[in-house]
Amino acid sequence: MKNSLRSLILGATVVCAVTASAADEVQPFTLPMSLQPTQAEFDRFTTLNANNDLKEWQFNDEENFIYYAYSSTKDADDWVFIPVTLTAKDTYLKVSIEALASGASGYYDENFELAIGSAADAASMRTILTKTVDKDAFTAYETTFSNTITGTGWLGIHATSPKNSRTLQIRNIALQSYATPIPLQPVIKASSTDNLEYTATITMPSQTVQGNAIEGKVNLRFSVDGTVENTYTDLTPGNDVNVAATLTKGEHTMTFVAYLITDGETTESQPVSETVTAKDPNAQYTLPFSFGPTGQIEFDECVWFDTNGDDVRWQLKYLNGDPAFYYKYHSKNQANDWIILPAVNFGTTDKIKISVEAATEGTFKEAFEVYLGKEPTIAAMTIKVIDEPEFATSKAWRTYDATLDTEGGIWHVGIKAKSAADQYGLYVRNIQIESLNDPTGVDTIDADENAPAEYYSLQGMRLAAPEKDQLVIVRKGSKSYKAIMR
């Protein structure tokens, strides 16, 4: 028969008598305890309606959970106590439950506490966890705690929601002994990422979560993105261990877990993690090329130059939720700053189409240029592809494209901001390069592949001395491409 301490109006003496009787009658659960609960299990619980408001913990026999429904007049102050047998070895325990707030979608959160005590009454309870439940789906809550109780102990669940809430539901109540030593977390003392190489110094724990010194050796498991990279065994507690890994380009999560093996039983620390970004300076894209930037990782693959030294430079910024390269105005200086994208291997492509999207922060006029170059430097940006001297879109994207003859090999795209001083802001994104697979050139000219460069007008007339900024056809052997002389 389910025990109930429903009435406080009988006085403290009567309540104490009922509590003692209840404690004598119940059949405690043994560790490890895992309760759904069922009706039979709930009948072994003891409830306490501490504020005497006719509301108390109840059992839902259709879905097997316990629940506390709100009072319209009083804040919740109701308990359910679960008896459990504890021994002298059970000096450290872990408790977990799943809980939901039925009205969370309507901003009706619920509150509860977990506690441990030597009797089924509020006065003997020691709080071990306090939580606000703000989800309307069952969510796990857990904690670990020290214990000195032997014999019958009581796990208390205390509803503390404000009046006029909705319903707090709880299921999957578990309690287990953590008497076996459990190591504290390791500490990431130092770490660095050099291109694709990651190194770190990890300080191993010297104590257990139970507060005792670790006896013997401790071990470390090192994982990258959830996959074990390496294990380090027979380490001295409190000492440092050096770890290393070669990563692939991109963002990675590095996780470290200390663990002990005691009498054949393995116990683990809570994991400690950090996120790092690996860069590959030798990585090359191929055609067709598409570059967002999709986020910070792609942005960091680029190099930027604050040419005029005014601390205004290209940065990553979102426009209407879309990541883009962004250049903010300077109140006195005209823009003259570059961002250069990573290498693209054109292979043997002779003709390409390149396009970008651009937008302005407001109605102020902005200006930019797009170049191709063989190296990620300003000096190497010799082929001007797109030149937009003045435009304004008020945050609407506009596409600019160009088709040009070029030569194969490795190329970089450079974007130059050249807006006048005291404008607003320039956005550029979605850089695309595709091969048109239609190599063209000055076919009537027959030259050796290793011959020096020759220059021709767009009409095919050879030029002895091209003028600066003149658009010409450059011929090297059997290859030809358009370029602006600089």
Examine the domain organization and report whether 204 and 323 are in the same domain.
Answer: no
- Cβ contact 173:97 at 8 Å: yes
- Residue 216's domain is classified under what CATH number? 2.60.40.10
Q: How many CB atoms lie within 10 A of CB 287?
A: 18
CA-nearest of 144, 199, 203 to 175 is 144
Instruction: Report the CATH number that the domain containing residue 60 is assigned in CATH.
Output: 2.60.120.200
Predicted local confidence at residue 1, as pLDDT:
38
For residue 462, the model assigns a pLDDT of: 63
- Going by C-beta distance under 8 Å and a sequence separation of 6 or more, which residues neighbour residue 95? 114, 128, 129, 142, 143, 144, 145, 155, 173, 174, 175
Distance, in Å, from the CA atom of 224 to the CA atom of 247, rounded to the nearest integer, reads: 9
CB 351 within 8 A of CB 402: no
Residue 261 and residue 172 share a domain:
no
Strands (E), 361-424: 366-373, 381-391, 398-405, 410-417
Neighbour count for residue 485 (Cβ, 10 Å): 16
Concatenated DSSP letters of 44-91: T-EEEETT-SS---EEETTTTEEEEE--SSS---EEEEEEEEE-TT--
Calculated CA dihedral for residues 393, 397, 403, 409, nearest 10 degrees: 120
- 411 in the same domain as 383: yes
Q: Do residues 319 and 265 share a domain?
A: no
Residue 450: the pLDDT is 59
Contact in structure between 474 and 481 (CB atoms under 8 Å): yes
Both 12 and 54 in one domain: the answer is yes
pLDDT in tens, 184-234: 999 999 999 998 999 999 999 999 988 889 999 999 999 999 999 999 999
The closest of 76, 75, 84 to 48, measured between CA atoms, is: 76
pLDDT at 470: 74
Asked if residue 289 and residue 274 are part of one domain, the reply reads: no
- Judge if 28 and 124 occupy the same domain: yes
Q: Same domain, yes or no, for 274 and 297? A: no
Does residue 452 belong to any structural domain of this protein?
no
Task: Check: CB of residue 187 under 8 Å from CB of residue 101.
Answer: no
Residue 222 placed within a domain: yes
| Pairing of β 151-159 and β 110-117 | antiparallel
Q: Which residue range is the domain that position 33 belongs to?
A: 3-177
Which residues are bridge partners to 96 per DSSP? 142, 174
Q: Are 140 and 18 within one domain?
A: yes
CA 32 to chain centre: 34
Beta bridge mates, 323: 318
Which residues touch 443 (CB under 8 Å, ≥6 apart)?
none
Of the CA atoms within 13 Å of residue 99, those in its CB half-sphere come to: 25
Residue 453 inside a domain? The answer is no
Task: Please count the other Cβ atoms lying within 10 Å of the Cβ belonging to residue 352.
Answer: 25
Candidates 116, 98, 100, 126; CA nearest to 31 is 116
Residue 313 in any domain: the answer is yes
Please give the C-alpha separations between residue 149 and each of 34, 91, 92, 97, 126, in angstroms, as whole numbers.
Answer: 20, 8, 10, 21, 11
Task: State residue 14's pLDDT score.
Answer: 33
278, 306, 323: which is the final residue of a domain?
A: 278
Spatial neighbors of 483 by CB under 8 A, at least 6 apart, are: 382, 383, 471, 472, 473, 474
Same domain, residue pair 127 and 156: yes
> Whole-prediction pTM value?
0.53
Whether the bond into 183 is cis, omega within 30 of 0: no
Within-domain flag for 88:
yes
**pLDDT tens profile 31-78:** 999 999 999 999 999 999 999 998 999 999 999 999 999 999 999 999
Cα–Cα dist 368/310, whole Å: 18
Shared domain check, 396 and 298: yes
Among 216, 248, 278, residue at a domain's last position: 278
In the prediction, which pLDDT does 131 show? 97
Weakly modelled stretches of the chain, pLDDT under 50: 1-2, 4-23, 438-448, 459, 478
Question: Does residue 124 sit within a domain?
Answer: yes
Number of domains in the chain: 3
Q: Same domain for 164 and 192?
A: no
Q: Which residues pair with 69 in a beta bridge?
A: 167
Chain position carrying tokens 């205004």: 312
Q: Which of 420, 435, 450 is at the close of a domain?
A: 435
Render pLDDT for 298-319 as a digit per residue (tens, 0 to 9). Answer: 898 899 999 989 999 999 999 9
56 lies in some domain? yes
Residue 467 belongs to some domain of the structure: no
Q: Pick left, alpha or beta for residue 225 (phi over 0 → left; psi -120 to 50 → alpha; otherwise beta).
A: left
